[in-house]
Amino acid sequence: MQEYLSKSPAETEAFGKKLGEKLNPGSVIALYGGMGAGKTALTRGIASGLGIAQGVSSPTFALVHEYEGRLTVYHFDMYRVESWDDLYSTGFFDYLDTGGVMIIEWSENIEGAIPDNAIRIHLRQGETENERILSCEGVNV
């Protein structure tokens, strides 16, 4: 496991960018951590590392946003997903194995559906307001 201490949104994005540059087709990135933890900021960085310049925002209402870069990115927000039926209706299972990269906010809500080989990143607040600790399993950034 790798722990990274970020001291600003820009550092979180830069860390995400390095990760994005390393990703392979079919990578699944499961993000954990409550509101404001920095999941979308990290996703913005990952997308940038994949050559995606367009604005990345939380897909809270759409549930999934799609971006085209070196690889296609499917960005999910599982905040409102409470059941397997909900999960099926996001199309989650249809996107697995398409060769795209899946980035999943609120993975806590769908833990049973996260593939074993996923990259898991837990984000939590550090000692000061702008510090975030990123704990990464399944990858070395």
Residue ranges binding ligand ATP (CB under 6 A): 6-9, 11-12, 33, 35-41, 58, 105, 130, 132
Residue closer to Mg ion (CB basis): 62 or 97: 62
Distances (CA, A) of 27 to 24, 35, 69, 133: 6, 24, 14, 22
- Taking the C-alpha atoms of residue 119 and residue 137, their distance in angstroms, rounded to an integer, is 6
Binders of Mg ion among residues 122 to 141 (CB under 5 A) are none
Q: Which lies closer to Mg ion via its Cβ, residue 25 or residue 134?
A: 134
39 binds Mg ion (CB under 5 A): yes
CB nearer ligand ATP, residue 6 or residue 27: 6
Side-chain-facing half-sphere of 114: CA atoms under 13 Å: 22
Nearer Cβ to ligand ATP (28/122) = 122
Contact indicator for 141, 18 with CB cutoff of 8 Å: yes
CB 115 within 8 A of CB 97: no
> How far apart are CB 127 and ligand ATP at their closest, in Å?
12
Residue 58 sits in the site that holds Mg ion (CB under 5 A): yes
Q: Which does 90 bind (CB under 5 to 8 A by kind): Mg ion, ligand ATP, none?
A: none
Q: Which two tokens stand for residue 84?
A: 């397997």
Compute the distance between CA of residue 37 and CA of residue 140 in angstroms, rounded to an integer: 21
What are the residues binding Mg ion (CB under 5 A)? Answer: 39-40, 58, 105
